[in-house]
Amino acid sequence: MPDAPSSAVSALDDRIDDRIDDRIDDRIDDRIDDRTSISSPAMTSEGSADDFLVRFWGVRGSIPTPGPSTVRYGGNTPCVEMCCGSQRLVFDGGTGIRLLGQNLIRELPVEAHIFFTHSHWDHIQGFPFFTPAFIRGNTFHIYGKVAPNGASIRERLEDQMLHPNFPVPLRIMGATLVFHDLEPDAQLQIGDRVAIETGMLNHPGEATGYRVTFGGKTVVYATDTEHYPDRLDGSLLHLARQADVLILDATYTDEEYWSSTSSKVGWGHSTWQEAVKLARAADVKFLVIFHHDPVHDDAFLDRVGADVQTCFPHSTMAVEGMVLALQPEGVQIRL
C-alpha cells in the first residue's frame, strides 16, 4: 500500500488534536461544574485585602518524598504562595503546586502571578498537574529568566509536556497564560502596592531569587543557592537585606556538605549553618529553613530545627501547609 500524502497525515493529526482538545475541555468542565463557587480573587478566605500571607505548599528539594517518615514536614517539592492584599503570587511549580491548584478551584475565576527560580525538575514538575491552568476564564502571568542556553521559561515548560515525556501538551491549557522573560536584577511592580526585586543565585544552570515588598513588609524567597567557601554571597546578601522573612535553601548540614566520603560541594545548595550566617549578616528578622533534603526524615528535621533555634531564635523549619502572617508586631505562624 502506498504511503499517504504528508498533507493528508497532517490534516488527520490536526483533526485528532482538535478532538482531544474538545474532550479534555469537556472533562474539565464536567469536573468543576459541581465544585466551583465564584468568589473575589482579591480576597482570601484567611484575611483582609491588607494582609500579607505566605503559605507553603511544597518544602522538599530534589524529588518528592511521600511516606510515613516525612508526613509532618511534607514531601512535596517547592511551591510557595504569597497573598499580598489583592494580588496572589506563586513561587515555583514543584509538586506542591498541584495541592495549591486544588485549593484554588474553590475561588474561580483565578488570576495569579507565577515566578520560577529556574527549571530543574523539582521546581517545574508539578505545573502539568496545576488544574486551574486548564480552566478557561483563569489568567496566569508566568515569569522566569532566560536560561543560559537561550530557552525561555515558556519553552522549558512546553518541553517537559511534549512526547515522550508527557501525554498532554501545554497548548491544551485553557487558561490565559501570559509569559514574561525576566532580565537579571529586574524590578517589577504588581498592581499598585507590590514591588518585586530579583537577584542572581549561585546554582548550576543559574537560578533567580525574589524579594517581595508589600505594606511595608518584605519577604525574600531564595532557593536554590550555594554559599561560597571564603565569603558571603554579595548578591544574596543584598537581596535579603533587612527582610522581615527570609526563605532560604538550607538543604544540608555542614557535616554533610563537607563530607570526605560524599561531598555536596558544587551541588548548588547550602547548609543551615550558612543560612544562619547570612541571616545575621543581612539583619533578617525571621528565617525559614527550606528545600529539605529527601533523605532527611521528620526526626532529623526536628533536630536541625532545634539547632537552628539555638543559633537564631527567630526561625522555623518550613512545613507543608504552614502559613506565615506578617503582622505589625512580627511574624505569626499558623499550622
- For 231-290, the pLDDT digits (tens) are 999 999 999 999 999 999 999 999 999 999 999 999 999 999 999 999 999 999 999 999
* Residue 4 lies in domain: 1-31
Better-predicted residue by pLDDT, 61 or 26:
61
- The number of domains in the chain is 2
* Residue 100 counted as domain residue: yes
If asked whether residues 172 and 266 sit together in one domain, one would say yes
Distances (CA, A) of 46 to 85, 190, 325: 11, 21, 10
If asked whether residues 192 and 148 sit together in one domain, one would say yes
- What kind and span of H or E run contains 246? strand 245-249
If asked whether residues 61 and 104 sit together in one domain, one would say yes
Q: Which three cell numbers stand for residue 236?
A: 544574596
Alpha carbon distance 238, 243 (integer Å): 10
pLDDT above 50 (res 328): yes
* Residue 37 counted as domain residue: no
pLDDT above 80 (res 185): yes
Instruction: Confirm if 292 and 322 have CB atoms less than 8 A apart.
Output: no
| Three-state secondary-structure class, residue 319 | coil
Mean pLDDT across 2-9:
44
Alpha carbon distance 248, 327 (integer Å): 21
* Residue 102 counted as domain residue: yes
* Residue 42 counted as domain residue: no
If asked whether residues 144 and 199 sit together in one domain, one would say yes
Mean pLDDT across 66-79:
98
If asked whether residues 23 and 133 sit together in one domain, one would say no
* Residue 217 counted as domain residue: yes
